[in-house]
Amino acid sequence: MHPAPSVIVFTTLSGLGFGLLLFLGLGMPDVTGWVAFVFFAIAYALAVGGLLASTFHLGHPERALKAFTQWRSSWLSREGWCAVIALLVMAPYGAGLVFMGESYSILGLIGALFSLLTVFTTSMIYTQLKTIPRWNMKLTPAMFLSFSLAGGALLSGQIKAAMVLLAVAAVVQVVYWKQGDQALAASGTDMGTATGLGSIGEVRAFEPPHTGTNYLLREFVHVVGRKHAAKLRIIAFTLAFVVPLLLLYLSPHHLGALIAVLSHLVGIAVSRWLFFAQAEHVVGLYYGKR
């Protein structure tokens, strides 16, 4: 899949933002006034910024409101609903903390729930696609959720929780990569089933239908960046999990925590880039590519 920057920015930032909102909704950290304002401002900036970035790749962003109509069948529509509900419910909860020093904890709980659901519905947009075996796995939602929880804990300064959740996310990441590498082969789809000619013998792409490129090749067949995948995996893993864990362990203070957050953010973005760049869409098989 083409690793579109807008989608990588969106899923990385909004995953972190909703993770932070989740912790804030649960009253962690238990803050009011200016401190609460800063926490909520960061969470909203990440979540809303991510959502805005996601509209950049739309052909007709001005019609985006129509995307709320099909929640009965479409995960993308459900994601829109969950995100809006989470942001709307969190606003009065945050205002209570910032301006009145009051915690309307029921609002916080509802907001936390919908923040979690937003991340889950985002992950289901990818997970539902049988056409991309590497995404069509139970580990995909596990990965999105564990990343978001770890990032949220890290951003909200919950040192102990962050260390546990980062470790969990790291394990999920490794297992995801391992299983993902076998997903296409395990799906049973190959050029033989794609063309229906596999029962005759071995199929080879002889001539593509067009001499130039097209939407399908640009969007679905991204093979260029894959050759560095192994190196990028190590970079992603180190930045997203190893560095933050070490920093939290060695110097869980302001500067250390700040560097941990930035390192985590960059690491998750690299991991998300790989999530797209390494994903093979079965349509590539018609071109003899993967």
Partner 1 sequence: MTQLPQSTDRKMGLVIDLDTCVGCHACVISCKGWNTENYGAPLSDQDAYGSDPSGTFLNRVHSFEVQPTPCQSNPAPEAQLIHFPKSCLHCEDAPCVTVCPTGASYKRVEDGIVLVNESDCIGCGLCAWSCPYGARELDQAEGVMKKCTLCVDRIYNENLEEVDRVPTCVRTCPAGARHFGDLGDPNSDVSQLVAERGGMDLMPEMGTKPVNKYLPPRPKDTIEEQIDILAPLLAPIAEEPQGFLGWLDKALDKLPGGNA
Residue 228 interacts with partner 1 (CB under 8 A)? no
Determine which residue in the list 16, 36, 125, 139 makes contact with partner 1, applying CB under 8 A: 125
Dmax (CA) of the chain: 74
Helix axes 105-127, 5-25, angle to 10 degrees: 150
Q: Would you count residue 253 as binding partner 1 (CB under 8 A)?
A: no
- Binds partner 1 (CB under 8 A): choice among 175, 187, 225, 229: 187
Question: Is residue 70 within the footprint of partner 1 (CB under 8 A)?
Answer: yes
Q: Is 204 in the site for partner 1 (CB under 8 A)?
A: yes
Six token digits for residue 7: 């989608």
The binder of partner 1 chosen from 31, 47, 132, 169 (CB under 8 A):
132
- Copy the structure tokens of residue 154: 């890290």
Is there binding between residue 182 and partner 1 (CB under 8 A)? no
Which of 6, 32, 105, 128 binds partner 1 (CB under 8 A)? It is 128
**Site for partner 1 contains 197 (CB under 8 A):** yes
Q: In this chain, which stretch among 158-166, 213-221, 252-260, 269-277 interacts with partner 1, using CB under 8 A? A: 213-221
Q: Going by C-beta distance under 8 Å and a sequence separation of 6 or more, which residues neighbour residue 69?
A: 77
Query: Does 202 help bind partner 1 (rule: CB under 8 A)?
Result: yes
Residue 120 in contact with partner 1, rule: CB under 8 A: no
Binding partner 1 by CB under 8 A: which of 34, 138, 201, 254?
Answer: 201
Give me the phi and psi of 101, to 5 degrees please.
Answer: 65, 20
Cβ 248 vs Cβ 170: under 8 Å: no
Q: By CB under 8 A, tell whether 72 contacts partner 1.
A: yes
Q: Tokens 């470790």 map to which residue?
A: 167
83 by DSSP, 3-state: which?
Answer: helix
b (16+ CB within 10 A) / e for 168-191: bbbebbeebbeebeebbeebebeb
Contact 98, 32 (CB under 8 A): yes
* Cβ pair 143, 172 in contact under 8 A: yes
Q: According to the binding rule CB under 8 A, does residue 147 interact with partner 1?
A: no
From the list 92-100, 200-208, 249-257, 268-276, the region that binds partner 1 by CB under 8 A is 200-208
Single out the residue of 52, 193, 229, 256 in contact with partner 1 (rule: CB under 8 A).
Answer: 193
Q: How far lies 156's CA from each of 22, 29, 66, 93, 266, in Å? A: 10, 6, 34, 16, 18
Under the binding rule (CB under 8 A), the answer on residue 224 touching partner 1 is no
Binding site for partner 1 (CB under 8 A): 1, 57-61, 63-64, 66-70, 72-77, 80, 125, 128-132, 187-189, 191, 193-197, 199-216, 219-220, 281-283, 286-287
